[in-house]
Chains A and B, each alone.
Chain A
Amino acid sequence: MGEMEALRKEADNLKDQITEARKVVQDTTLQEAVAGTALVGRVQLKTRKTLRGHLAKIYAMHWGTDTKFCVSASQDGKLIVWDTLTTNKVNAIPLKSSWVMTCAYAPSGNMVACGGLDNMCSIYNLKGKDGNVKVMRELAAHTGYLSCCRFLSDSEIITSSGDCTCVLWDIETGTEKTIFAGHLGDCMSLAVSPDFKMFISGACDFTAKLWDIREATCRQTFSGHESDINAIGFFPNGNAVITGSDDATCKLYDLRADQELVTYQDSGIMCGVTSLAPSLSGRLLLAGYDDFNVNIWDMLKAERVGVLAGHDNRVSCIGVSSDGMACCTGSWDSFLKIWN
């Protein structure tokens, strides 16, 4: 097997060279560069609303773009669309499969999507003629569970799966337009860039990948985590990527520097990160953990500046509304909470 050995050596050699190339631009660290900046003051957010109605663990939630609506998915086999201000349930959609792992709200507000152990992404039309919410499409082709999905528009959606791939679908025809393959482990999470031209995926191979939607190529790969990446998101200007992992840390990677800038960790935090969301300015990072808390980090100084403690079980999902006014958390305790 001399040839395999030679190939492996060549691959490792290239990786080492890249590590060196990345070092070349390290004329400073983020910590040094912001040494003169004051730490953001203690952030104390309070629970303003509790959304009650699910009967089992909540696995996912997603804010609508322009409204104060959000959608949540629970193992009780329901998708609920909430008016978060009044706490009323706008829609309660029964699902065929109760093993749901993800949900998404279309930017237009016309549709929601969900999927899970059924390996499918089901699209529901919220604005149907007779007022009933029905399944519009069932996107089936993945050979593994559906871990995450995000709409690009009412016509296209991107999914990530336990089969290690991400897929861009045409909703109208229900077909796969592009398959993004390259991860060596289950894809757990994805996020679309603010300009909708790219998306990032985090996987159980401990890496995050940046994909060009149109060209169907992997533009960049970031590593450094020591366990599964469960959550991923863009910094608000689209130039950096935030990841959250089972290794109990979050990391910030910059796209233009092509490397990690900082790790958010604390020896008192032992449990994995399940979800994350930046605040509107990007100065704060809100991350949900398996230890039932949300920790708020000063993203530049890499220090904890707040804790949201209110759930009685793991925080499984988190989101900040588009105008930055509210943070919503969902938990295995079956409740969603709105904080600000």
Chain B
Amino acid sequence: MAQTNSVGQGSNGVADESPNMIVYRKMEDVIARMQDEKNGIPIRTVKSFLSKIPSVFSGSDIVQWMIKNLNIEDQVEALHLGTLMAAHGYFFPISDHVLTLKDDGTFYRFQTPYFWPSNCWEPENTDYAVYLCKRTMQNKARLELADYEAESLARLQRAFARKWEFIFMQAEAQAKVDKKRDKIERKILDSQERAFWDVHRPVPGCVNTTEVDIKKSSRMKNPQKTRKSVYGPQNDVRTHSPTHTPAQEAKPATEEQLQDQINYWGGQLDRHRLKMSKVAESLLAYTEQYVEYDPFITPTDPSNPWISDDTAVWELEASKEPGQQRVKRWAFGINEVLKDQVGREQFLKFLESEFSSENLRFWLAVQEVKKRPIREVPTRVQEIWQEFLASGAPSAINVDSKSYDKTTQNVKDPGRYAFEDAQDHIFKLMKSDSYSRFIRSSAYQELLQAKKKKSKNLF
């Protein structure tokens, strides 16, 4: 079910609007379908005691509709998505400030598009003050302030003490206008207005879904687009958020940039591309080989410390005696041996027994120098050169002449990557020669068998 993402893009592929917008649009697509006359959720007026409850549907109605019409498998998923949409303010429970979806007879109502979050609302505290004040002027049980609202009103009265007369007047004017409205219309509008504030001034402990990641908000391009004034022109009140530095304008690509792109893509055109079948095969093979080592798929033995509170598996790992599963892994590839400390030690031990350890020692030395602080690098490079590559070197390694020449040059002005070419060459040699001999060696085979025997003894 493809959702069209009409993200506004500048010519450099930079989005014009906040990432929340993408989500709002998707939700609004669903809302439109929910409100469809034929296939949407049936909306009705319910008779209750002496009055009518206009324009509502139940939580179960929503859940049923979602399971039937969206690609949703079960009630849990429906409740999750439904609660998300309620938290964003697209529909709301008419008798609760907390915006969640319940799979029962609780009544919900749709929010009016005026109050949708996609209008980029950032309502000011002065507006909230007018709203709360207005509520206290009307003698309706349903409009009574909740505790947290009463507290907010008290706080706002202190904060806006100087302007309170103005705020009060606005509230009075609003209340007057509201009184003139049709009773049923008022019920609906009042609930929608309340739901709006439940989104922008949520109940303490509830999530404020209008929050934007600071990485994104510092990029947002159109602060002018945001609507701050719900009830009319207000004085500016600074809210507590990081300053919205206007993001850089998306400049159309310059001639230089286009030329760079052309050079880059030109260079990419003839690169070698491996067949998809080979790639898929390789990915499948890798996951299959490692699945027994993946604790999320195969339970670990000994047990996972977080589940059993027993750290035996880590103690085993730290001990110098490698378990069979661990030794088996060394045969997967040379990288497995090299990244396991015990593997490296065993590999080195084996090569020393053959008097051919210089390649590995060189490789390890070069890895080590790459991590050194830059001031120690030149000395270390010289030491490695003397030990492995200089004429008459005690641990002479065999490098192809091209790499040797390059390395000779590099060593004159030694940096971290002085031995990169030589190291690559030696790595290939080790992989095809010393490593394969190690895996076939009796020393390795013994390690592989050793734990098998031991574990048998435990039983």
Contacts and interface: CB of A to CB of B under 8 A. Distances in A.
Are A and B associated in one complex?
Answer: yes
Interface string A37-77: 10011010100110000000001000000001000000100
Given A49-B306, A184-B12, A290-B23, A258 B273 contact: yes
Contacts of A256: 273-274, 278-279
B312 interface: no
Interface string B187-214: 0000000000000000000010001011
Interface string A85-129: 100000000000001010000000000000011000000000000
Contacts of B258: 4, 7-8, 10-11
Interface string B249-276: 0000101001101101110111101111
Given A14-B266, A204-B219, A281-B287, 11 more contacts: A4-B255, A10-B262, A11-B262, A14-B262, A34-B280, A45-B296, A236-B290, A257-B275, A267-B71, A279-B294, A326-B304
A291 interface: yes
B5 to A, nearest CB: 5
A16 to B, nearest CB: 10
B437 interface: no
B417 interface: yes
Contact of A272 (B19, B259, B291): B19
A175 to B, nearest CB: 9
A266 B374 contact: no
Interface stretch (B46-54, B77-85, B176-184): B77-85
A332 B216 CA distance: 15
Chain B contact residues (Cβ within 8 angstroms of A): what range?
35 or more
B273 A101 contact: no
Contacts of A327: 296
Nearest to A296: B296
A195 B84 CA distance: 41
Q: Is the interface of B mostly helix, strand, loop or mixed?
A: helix
Interface residues of A, number: 112
B297 A279 contact: yes
B141 interface: no
Given A18-B265, A162-B219, A3 B371 contact: no
A132 interface: no
A267 B70 CA distance: 8
B3 interface: yes
B259 to A, nearest CB: 7
Given A220-B268, A267-B1, A268-B77, A155 B279 contact: no
A254 B279 contact: yes
Contact of B286 (A11, A49, A237): A237
A153 B416 CA distance: 12
What 3 pairs between A and B have smallest CB-CB spacing?
A: A33-B280, A153-B371, A281-B290
18 contacts: A10-B258, A11-B261, A33-B284, A40-B297, A145-B218, A154-B373, A162-B218, A173-B374, A214-B420, A256-B278, A256-B279, A257-B275, A267-B3, A267-B71, A281-B294, A282-B290, A283-B291, A284-B297
A237 B336 CA distance: 11
A245 to B, nearest CB: 9
A280 B294 CA distance: 5
A336 interface: no
A14 B269 contact: yes
A24 B273 contact: yes
Contacts of A10: 258, 262
A166 B12 CA distance: 18
Interface string A268-287: 10111010000111111000
B370 interface: yes
Given A117-B214, A186-B215, A254-B279, A204 B15 contact: yes
Contacts of A196: 370
B306 A325 contact: yes
B352 to A, nearest CB: 25
Contacts of B213: 274, 316
Interface in B283-310: 283-284, 286-287, 289-291, 293-297, 300, 304-307
Contact of A268 (B81, B259, B273, B375): B81
B80 A27 contact: no
Contact of A22 (B72, B80, B270, B273): B273
Contacts of A194: 335
Contact of A7 (B27, B255, B317, B370): B255
B19 A228 contact: yes
Nearest to A235: B283
B281 interface: yes
Nearest to B367: A196
Contacts of A43: 296-297
Given A153-B371, A267-B3, A300-B283, A227 B19 contact: yes
Contacts of B218: 117, 145, 162
Nearest to B3: A267
A279 B292 CA distance: 12
B143 interface: no
A25 B269 contact: no
B325 to A, nearest CB: 12
A246 B22 contact: yes
B372 A272 contact: no
A37 B253 CA distance: 46
B19 A325 contact: no
Contacts of B291: 281, 283
Contacts of A49: 306
Contacts of A338: 306
B280 A28 contact: yes
Interface string A308-332: 0100110010000001111100001
A324 B215 contact: no
Contacts of B15: 204, 227-228
A30 B304 CA distance: 32
A99 B214 contact: yes
A47 to B, nearest CB: 10
Given A15-B265, A21-B273, A325-B305, A261 B279 contact: yes
Contact of A204 (B14, B71, B268): B14
A283 B294 contact: yes
A257 B71 contact: no
A275 B311 CA distance: 29
Contacts of B270: 21
B139 interface: no
Interface centre among A116, A283, A293 (most CB of B within 10 A): A283
B5 A247 contact: yes
B375 to A, nearest CB: 7
B215 A284 contact: no
Nearest to A10: B262
B239 interface: no
B13 interface: yes
A291 B219 CA distance: 22
B26 interface: yes
